[in-house]
Amino acid sequence: MAALTPNEKYTLLSDAVVPRPIAWVSTVSTTGVVNVAPFSWFNMVTDDPPLVAISINRGRDGQAKDTARNLLEQGECVIHLPSRSDVAQVAASGRNFAPHESEAELLGLALAPAQSVTPPRLADAVLALEGRLWRHIPIEAPGQPGQVIADHCLIEIVHAFAADSILQDGRIHPDPFNPLMRLGGMDYASIGERFDAPRR
């Protein structure tokens, strides 16, 4: 790995660690701008406390991205798990927007009040996890103390919303949910073959 460039390392890891769930995150800035952005360096950590992790790479200028900055300043977010039908809006919200621009407004994403946090949830999302920043871990560049290259955020989930359309027998069912997933490059995926493998 030491012989690889940063881009080569990124390509290797993002091609190898697949499929990845997508955190479609809404936050609010100190000036009230609603930010919505997708991140696939994301997964669950523990169930009690209910923690998930999102790693947000910094820009080439070393500045934190809007989502990370809002999380650090405001401490709250809503994490949406998008469905296959959301792919166009998820991809569009991943473009670079100025801090004063609201992706929700510019992309016409309808909003609804969250129950336990200030940032709104996406009204049409079928699954949303309201969360508060539990811990922030700045990731530094190798051999460059103080040079932060990513913000690793542990989020405690304080409320969950699931639309009736994806629930069966009190559980989230993968077929109607049809979660959108990330592969390497610019590729996305959805669930294909699904099967049980009982433990023996």
**Separation between Cα atoms, residue 140 and residue 59, nearest integer Å:** 13
Domain ranges of the chain: 21-189
CB atoms within 10 A of CB 96: 9
State the fold for domain 21-189.
Pnp Oxidase; Chain A (2.30.110)
**Separation between Cα atoms, residue 106 and residue 118, nearest integer Å:** 20
Q: What is the pLDDT along the chain (200 residues), one digit of tens a residue?
A: 989 998 999 999 999 999 999 999 999 999 999 999 999 999 999 999 999 999 999 998 899 999 999 999 999 999 999 999 999 999 999 999 999 999 999 999 999 999 999 999 999 999 999 999 999 999 999 889 999 999 999 999 999 999 999 999 999 999 999 999 999 999 999 998 999 998 88
**Separation between Cα atoms, residue 145 and residue 25, nearest integer Å:** 29
Q: Is 43 helix (H, G, I), strand (E, B) or coil?
A: strand
**Separation between Cα atoms, residue 198 and residue 173, nearest integer Å:** 19
